Amino acid sequence: MTGRALGVAYRAAWEATSRLPEHAAASLFNRISDALVARRGPAVVQLARNQRRVLGDQATPAALHAVVLAAMRSYGRYWLETFRMQRSDTDEIAQRGLDATTGLQHVIAARDEGRGIVLALPHSGNWDVAGMSMVKLLGGITTVAERLEPASVYRRFVAYRESLGFEVLPLTDEAGSAGASGRLLRQRLTEGKMVCLLADRDLGTGGIPVSFFGEPTTMPAGPAMLAAMTGAALCPVHLAYTDSGWLQYVAPPVRLAGERLADKVRSGTQAMADVFASRIALFPADWHMLQPLWTSDREAVKFGTDREAVKFGTDREAVKFGTDREAVKSGTEGGAAARPASEARTDSDPVP
């Protein structure tokens, strides 16, 4: 699909979805999600490989299929909520997000001390709702956005998030430098404001080595670096869905151990990764990671040594990661079995 066609498709989805009755729209997005799983495209196969690490010894073919199907429905729900947000009562949604937040006292304590706050999030649940709830509490937040192609899609997402009360900075300028945005993020934190960053996927080459679900990868240095340089509190956050709402968990500020800046960044990033892992393990179906995350997967794609496994989930590597047809085909029928991590949740469930 060309860039122009992709931009048109996004505009059409935004307009059409917002006009459909809610039940019809949800049913449509579930059908689309299920169809994508049945096709076993590269993103779905990679999602299965990622979830295989999360499930560990419990990753039977049936369990893996169920969580992949549920995760794609959860990801579809994120897009459904995004496309419908412009016609929703955003103030009411923000208040519901606040009411569903555990650990809010850590944010309030930092605010009352005049201390900046870095919230670091994985790609789980609905991070826009989380941002909206923080805007309602604090009056505004600052975040960054990766430049997307086509530019029209990038501009639309920036405008959308600005309409929710976010200050949105580009991840890099047109020359590819992150310097200007980094300076503004530090300024906001020294002013006692909040910066929110998606932090489970390293987009560059300067990531910090961490152990994540027992396997090496890298995660962005930014959250811990900003906290160490400004004295801000670094609070890992996790987001999940209930049947009719959201769960938001704010962890206590992590300790940046060490004397040198490099040591503080390393220890803080590993502590952040540990919180992510503990929470994702509780709600695997709400983690929307469809890209190679672990070092072994990224290197396999980079050097072309795992092309078949990444594209089709077949042969030796597919069996190794449980992403073969036994795991990703429609072996577990229907939506009821497709959300094992959420079936016991209600809006009133306590969050550990």
Query: Is-cis flag, bond preceding 223, omega within 30?
Result: no
Question: Nearest to residue 249, comparing CAs of 351, 330, 98, 159?
Answer: 351
**Which tokens is 36 given?**
């994508």
Model confidence over 14-30: pLDDT tens digits? 788 888 999 999 999 99
Read off the amino acid at residue 164.
L
Taking residues 269-292, report their average pLDDT. Answer: 98
Q: What is the C-alpha to C-alpha distance for residues 186 and 131, in angstroms, rounded to an integer?
A: 19
Read off the amino acid at residue 118.
V
CB 172 within 8 A of CB 181: yes
Model confidence over 92-119: pLDDT tens digits? 999 999 999 999 999 999 999 999 999 9
pTM comes to 0.84
Taking residues 184-206, report their average pLDDT. Answer: 93
Give the model's pLDDT for residue 110. 97
Give the model's pLDDT for residue 320. 38
**Which tokens is 242 given?**
């209930």
Sign of the torsion angle spanned by Cα atoms 104, 106, 107, 108 = positive
Q: Calculate the average pLDDT of the chain.
A: 85
> Higher confidence at residue 302 or residue 137?
137
What does the CA dihedral 40, 33, 275, 162 come to, rounded to 10 degrees? Answer: 130
> What ranges do the domains of the chain cover?
3-87+287-338, 90-285
Taking residues 159-180, report their average pLDDT. Answer: 82
- Compute CA 67 distance to the chain's CA centroid, rounded to the nearest angstrom: 16
At 98 the three-state DSSP class reads helix
Total Cβ atoms within 10 A of residue 25: 18
Give the model's pLDDT for residue 174. 60
Q: What is the C-alpha to C-alpha distance for residues 101 and 130, in angstroms, rounded to an integer?
A: 9
CB 141 within 8 A of CB 166: yes
What does the CA dihedral 163, 167, 171, 176 come to, rounded to 10 degrees? Answer: 100
What b/e sequence results for 284-310 when a residue is b if at least 16 CB atoms lie within 10 Å of its CB, and e otherwise? Answer: bbbbbbbbbbbbebeebbeeeebeebb
How wide is the angle at C-alpha 66 spanned by C-alphas 294 and 218, nearest 5°? Answer: 10
Model confidence over 292-345: pLDDT tens digits? 999 999 988 777 655 444 343 433 333 333 444 434 443 333 333 333 333 333
Give the model's pLDDT for residue 2. 57
Model confidence over 6-62: pLDDT tens digits? 777 777 887 888 889 999 999 999 999 999 999 999 999 999 999 999 999 999 999
Taking residues 161-173, report their average pLDDT. Answer: 90
Distances (CA, A) of 135 to 54, 131, 159, 247: 32, 6, 16, 17
Give the model's pLDDT for residue 180. 86
Task: Work out whether strand 215-219 and strand 208-212 pair parallel, antiparallel, or are unpaired.
Answer: antiparallel
Q: Where are the beta strands (DSSP E) in the chain?
A: 101-102, 117-121, 141-145, 166-170, 194-198, 208-212, 215-219, 233-241, 246-250
Please measure the distance between the N-terminal and C-terminal CA atoms of the chain and give it in whole angstroms. Answer: 44
Q: What is the C-alpha to C-alpha distance for residues 53 and 59, in angstroms, rounded to an integer?
A: 8
Q: What is the C-alpha to C-alpha distance for residues 224 and 262, in angstroms, rounded to an integer?
A: 10
At 97 the three-state DSSP class reads helix
